[in-house]
Amino acid sequence: MNKKFILAILLLTFPRLVAADSQWILEESTLTYHVSHPLKQTEGVSHAAKGKGVCHAGQCDFLIAVPVKSFDSGDSNRDLHMLQVVRGGQFPLITVRTHLPEDASSLATIQADLEVQFAGQTMQYKLIAFQHVTKGSDTLITGTIPLTLSDFKIDPPTLLALPVKNDVPVRVEMKWRPM
Amino acid sequence: MSPKAVKGGVALSFLIVLFSISIPISAQDSNSSLSGAITGAAGAAVPNAKVAVKNLATGQSTETQTDSAGRYNVPNLMPGDYELAVSAEGYSTNTVKVTVAPGAGKTADVTLAGVLSLQDLGISSGQAQGTAADQARLDKRSHMLKLHQRFGLIAAVPMIASVATSFGAGGRSTSTADRWTHLALGSATGDLYFMSAYFAIRAPRIPGTQSRGPIRVHKALAWIHGPGMILTPILGAIAFDQKSKGEKVHGIASAHGAVAIVTAAAYAASIVSVSFKF
């Protein structure tokens, strides 16, 4: 009885003695895609990503989702055409999943394997480098995902009969906060 | 030897023969195996995952765990249909059905999804999934706007030629051939223009979207070149009639040239507004 009482007091006083789950929430994000065409360069920006991370036993799972139609290139006609080309009517979300060791939060550069679902296709991207900076309780993550149209079986759109380039890198800037 | 002893010996011999036959048969039946790798969604190996293999015919279940490399092996299985259930902390359970052939090793790799779902992000299943009808609407819109673009660009060719031939059509000393050439080019311009306009006007609208950016300029200019493309041929017909009678172009018909130039300029600006970034 005394031993159980003492153990309970210890657990209440020092919660880190037991393995604790932790969770992360995506507070702010800026995702920017870049499309190259011989006549012009175009960027589309979204601030509408939602994300969550769950850490358990030293391993963390992250899920980020962003609506395709939230990307704004400054021209609604172009954005609607983009939505049609990437089959956004049928697959309205881009999702990114990754699995990281919890101690990755101590590294300045995080190498992550990403599973990206987009336009009805799933693609794995290995060892994508993200820069990691901690500011107070917030964690800032920045990096670029080297997305290509052919990865997701997207026909490159054309302007005046000239197609855009296959490479469509997506720059990611995220601010994560522990819950 | 007594009859009892003989009977006992026969029975024992029968059992020995029966046992020696049965051993190789059961050994043949259970030398199948099931093995594979358990990975997470991003391809990382999942160690210490619990792997339960259940024979669907007999209900017998065997459990094992993956090693540090995420691999498992279940030997000595009877051939048949099995249900493979894989679970691990931090992952959602995945169940697959496999068929194990006699005397063969079957490989079944299983990927476990992370515990997070879109519902955890506050995204409903309705938001996560679109419809074929929505995509079809987008496809139709894009197809019609492509036709609008093509006819619009093609219309620019006779429009430029029509402007170029206008100097020979309306001056003091002009020939009938010049006027007819100008008329034909103007007609071709009008036909192509209105075909282009049809596809733009009839392209499906997408609910919940508002015009932003250069497309607003493109649409606004249509209020200049649209009425212009109606007025220009009307004034042109009056001017053509006057010239055919040997008269000098006069009255309202004298505005034909100015209206045509303004129309052509607005049309050119309309093309430029969506072709280049300013």
Smallest Cβ distance to B209: which of A53, A76, A95? A76
Separation of alpha carbons A115 and B41, rounded Å: 7
**Domain boundaries B31-114, CATH class:** mainly beta
**Domain range annotation of chain B:** 31-114, 132-275
With cut-offs at 50, 70 and 90, classify the pLDDT of residue A4: low
Of A15-29, A57-71, B183-197, least confident by mean pLDDT is A15-29
* Per-residue H/E/C for B242-272: HHHCCCCCCHHHHHHHHHHHHHHHHHHHHHH
Percent of chain A at pLDDT exceeding 70: 89
With cut-offs at 50, 70 and 90, classify the pLDDT of residue A29: very high
Across the interface, do B131 and A99 touch by the CB < 8 Å criterion?
no
Q: Is residue A155 part of a domain?
A: yes
Q: What is the pLDDT of residues B180-232, one digit of tens each?
A: 999 999 999 999 999 999 999 999 999 888 899 999 999 999 999 999 999 99
Across the interface, do A83 and B138 touch by the CB < 8 Å criterion?
yes
Q: Is residue A16 part of a domain?
A: no
Output the pTM of the full model: 0.69
Smallest Cβ distance to A39: which of B118, B210, B275? B275
Q: Is residue A59 part of a domain?
A: yes
Identity of the amino acid at A68: V
* Per-residue H/E/C for chain A: CHHHHHHHHHHHHCHHHCCCCEEEEEEEEEEEEEEECCCCEEEEEECCCEEEEEEECCEEEEEEEEEHHHCECCCHHHHHHHHHHCCCCCCCEEEEEEEEEHHHHHCCEEEEEEEEEECCEEEEEEEEEEEEEEECCEEEEEEEECCECHHHCCCCCEECCEECCCECCEEEEEEEEEC
pLDDT score of B29: 61
Residue A137 has pLDDT above 60, yes or no: yes
Q: Is residue A8 part of a domain?
A: no
Q: In chain B, positions 208-237, which contact chain A (CB-CB < 8 Å)?
A: 209-215, 218
Q: Nearest-CA distance from A123 to chain B in Å?
A: 10
Q: Is residue A12 part of a domain?
A: no
pLDDT score of A39: 80
Smallest Cβ distance to B276: which of A39, A84, A89? A39
Per-residue confidence in pLDDT tens, chain B, 278 aa: 676 666 666 666 666 555 544 444 444 467 899 999 998 866 788 988 999 999 999 999 999 999 999 999 999 999 999 999 888 866 767 778 899 999 889 999 998 876 788 888 999 888 888 999 999 999 999 999 999 999 999 999 999 999 998 887 776 656 778 889 999 999 999 999 999 999 999 999 998 888 999 999 999 999 999 999 999 999 999 999 998 898 889 999 999 999 999 999 999 999 999 887 66
Q: Is residue A15 part of a domain?
A: no
Percent of chain A at pLDDT exceeding 90: 68
Based on the structure, what is the number of domains in chain A?
A: 1
B114 contact A CB<8A: yes
Cβ-Cβ contacts under 8 Å, A115 against chain B: 41-43
Burial class (CB in 10 A: 0-12, 13-18, 19+), A90: middle
Q: Which domain holds residue A143?
A: 21-178
A95 contact B CB<8A: yes
Q: What is the pLDDT of residues A72-94, one digit of tens each?
A: 999 999 999 999 999 999 999 99
pLDDT score of A162: 87
CATH number for the domain including A59?
A: 2.40.128.110
Is-contact B44 B10, C-beta < 8 A? no
Q: In chain B, positions 59-98, which contact chain A (CB-CB < 8 Å)?
A: 89-90
Q: Which residues, 6 or more positions from A45, have their beta carbon under 8 angstroms from its beta carbon?
A: A30, A31, A32, A71, A72, A73
Q: What is the ipTM of this complex?
A: 0.82
Give the tokens for residue A18. 């037991």
Q: Is residue A90 part of a domain?
A: yes
Give the tokens for residue B147. 């036709």
A51 contact B CB<8A: yes
Identity of the amino acid at B104: A
What are the backbone angles phi and psi of residue A79, rounded to the nearest 5°?
-65, -40
Cβ-Cβ contacts under 8 Å, A45 against chain B: none
- With tokens 């075909």, the residue in question is B195
